[in-house]
Amino acid sequence: RRYPTVETRAKTFNGSTHVTVPDDSAFLKALLFELRLTDQNFVEYRDTCTRINKSSVYAVRTDGGDLWPVLAFQKSGLIYVCLPLVEQALKPRPPLLSISGISQGLDLLSGILDFVSPSRKNEAELNAKVGQLRNLLLQACPLGTPLQTNLRSLNSSFDDIQDISTNRDPRQPAWRTNTYKGKPHVSVCITEKVKCMQYDKRDVVDMWQVYGTVACKCDIEGAAPNVTLSLNLPTNGSPLQDILAHPCVTSLDSAMLMSSSVDALDDSAFSGPYKFPFIPPSDSFNLCSYTSQVPVPPILGRYQLNEEGSQLKLSINLKLHESIKNAFEYCEARIPFFNRGPITHLEYKVSYGQLDLSREKSLVVWVIGPRFPKSLEISLTGTVTFGAIGEEHPTDLICTGNTAYVKLYFRIPDFTLTGCYVDQHSVQLFSPGKPKINASRELISSDYYIWNSKASAPIVYKTLF
């Protein structure tokens, strides 16, 4: 799909640095070359190690110059690509974070992926879905700016589009694509993910941070129903920072937006309640996201690994903090052994839980189970012997020698590390009928590492933000 109005705007914004978009066949040829799908030989400007692409943003070389930024990624044999508008000169290239079109383009491509991918195994169904994209883009992105990226909620028939445009309630916002009939029902789920890096060293500071998301689904009658939802913290809760709200939120207290984790000197804190008045979309959506600096990580650990001849001696200690709810859906510690052969002998002593060995015999899984013991402390000691290394065994360029880690995986239902919760009585609906409110929360581990304190561990950042 091409948007002549967007190309005209690009010429105005980019000025002399503007590169004209070539025709479809020339663009496709250049894109496949840039993605290394048509020429596997070494090409200096494309394959040099000084040009390592760490994102889905590419510069596609054309006869008129380098076309940038081109968003492209591959998924299940298909390539999803778009060219966002840059509202400034292209030389020197502006930072990616300053280009709002990149996030909009990724959001739209993700919506197309979500619409198309369930049919990828059936060629006839896939062709039918692709054939519907033109009409769906007329609704989702009529003039080049995405208005709705959830393509599943749109109508695939062009006749339906005509009907909607003539019968639509003028009060109904663009993000409410249909109206609900039935008893009002609101579902809210707070999901917090905790990232952690523990080193157990005096000269290296352990780091951890919480990332939260509030997901909502509001089944409410009316063209533009008003809903107010409040997030609350207990007395000792950790304040929420870096709050980002969905565009459907109609107003926000400025104090909620002041607290930032980026500014180390910023001591502003707003402990709630965090009120979000909004007109909900028809489908599930993320009302807001946030971060928080909690005083302690949920599980403190120590990992020590020593190499003695052909054997490795390991010692792991884990302690659940007393403030954490001791009720897990699952909890396990995975201990990978890189750049070594299969484990031929494992002798161990575990104070709690059980040990499993992966099929390829290069990963030890410590299954802790649904809860820690009353002492809240558990330990594992053991000796590991390896055989000859083969191609099927995992390798890692960073984790060599004794540089190794333990990675924790856990989920605690009905609990958040910040203490954040939704009081059902604080959900207000300005519509007839008493609504049914479902509120849930959960804490999930994400990149939760405990590094071997007997070896050097990679430290590439001072904060996790």
Segment 384-405 shows an average pLDDT of 86
For residue 47, the model assigns a pLDDT of 66
What value does the mean pLDDT of the chain take?
Answer: 86
For residue 51, the model assigns a pLDDT of 65
For residue 153, the model assigns a pLDDT of 74
Question: Comparing 437 with 308, which gets the higher pLDDT?
Answer: 437
d(CA 47, CA 129): 35
Segment 395-422 shows an average pLDDT of 93
Asked whether the beta carbons of 243 and 418 are under 8 A apart, the reply is no
pLDDT range class, residue 162, cuts 50, 70, 90: very low
| Residue 229 host element (H or E) | strand 227-232
Q: How many CA atoms lie within 13 A of 120 on its CB side?
A: 13
For residue 120, the model assigns a pLDDT of 64
For residue 177, the model assigns a pLDDT of 64
Segment 400-417 shows an average pLDDT of 94
Per-residue pLDDT at 463 exceeds 60:
no
pLDDT range class, residue 353, cuts 50, 70, 90: very high
Which has the closest alpha carbon to 388: 339, 434, 347, 334?
A: 339
Q: For 233-275, how does the pLDDT look when each residue is reduced to its tens digit (9 = 90+)?
A: 998 889 999 999 998 999 888 878 777 777 655 555 777 789 9
Asked whether the beta carbons of 242 and 191 are under 8 A apart, the reply is no
For residue 143, the model assigns a pLDDT of 85
How many distinct helices (H) and strands (E) make up the chain? 7, 20
Q: Which residue has the tokens 């914004």?
A: 13
Asked whether the beta carbons of 88 and 68 are under 8 A apart, the reply is no
Segment 294-320 shows an average pLDDT of 93
Question: Comparing 460 with 128, which gets the higher pLDDT?
Answer: 128
Q: Is the peptide bond before 273 cis (omega within 30 degrees of 0)?
A: yes
- Long-range contacts from 78-81, C-beta under 8 angstroms, 24+ separation: 78/116, 78/120, 79/31, 79/35, 80/109, 80/112, 80/113, 81/31, 81/109
Q: Write down the pTM of the prediction.
A: 0.66
d(CA 178, CA 70): 33
Burial of 197 (0-12, 13-18, 19+ CB in 10 A): buried
Query: Would strands 185-198 and 436-451 be described as parallel, antiparallel, or unpaired?
Result: parallel
Q: Which residue has the tokens 């990828």?
A: 120
Asked whether the beta carbons of 11 and 18 are under 8 A apart, the reply is yes
For residue 460, the model assigns a pLDDT of 58
Parts of the chain belonging to CATH 2.60.40.1170: 185-296+417-450, 299-414
Per-residue pLDDT at 55 exceeds 90:
no
Phi then psi for 278, rounded to 5 degrees? -155, 160
pLDDT range class, residue 114, cuts 50, 70, 90: confident
182: left (phi over 0), alpha (psi -120 to 50) or beta: left
The CATH superfamily label for domain 185-296+417-450 reads: Mu homology domain, subdomain B (2.60.40.1170)
Q: Which residue has the tokens 């994209």?
A: 133
Helices (H), 181-280: 254-258
Any idea what the Cα angle at residue 322 is, between residues 316 and 328, rounded to 5°?
70
pLDDT range class, residue 159, cuts 50, 70, 90: very low
For residue 257, the model assigns a pLDDT of 78
Asked whether the beta carbons of 114 and 108 are under 8 A apart, the reply is no
d(CA 2, CA 351): 64
For residue 452, the model assigns a pLDDT of 95
Per-residue pLDDT at 464 exceeds 50:
no
DSSP for residue 403: -
For residue 211, the model assigns a pLDDT of 96
Q: Which residue has the tokens 């993320």?
A: 286
CATH topology of domain 299-414: Immunoglobulin-like (2.60.40)
Per-residue pLDDT at 406 exceeds 90:
yes
DSSP for residue 452: B
Segment 342-359 shows an average pLDDT of 92
| Burial annotation 256-288 (CB, 10 A radius, 16+ → b, else e) | beebebeeeeeeeebbbebbbbbbbbbbebebb
Per-residue pLDDT at 163 exceeds 60:
no
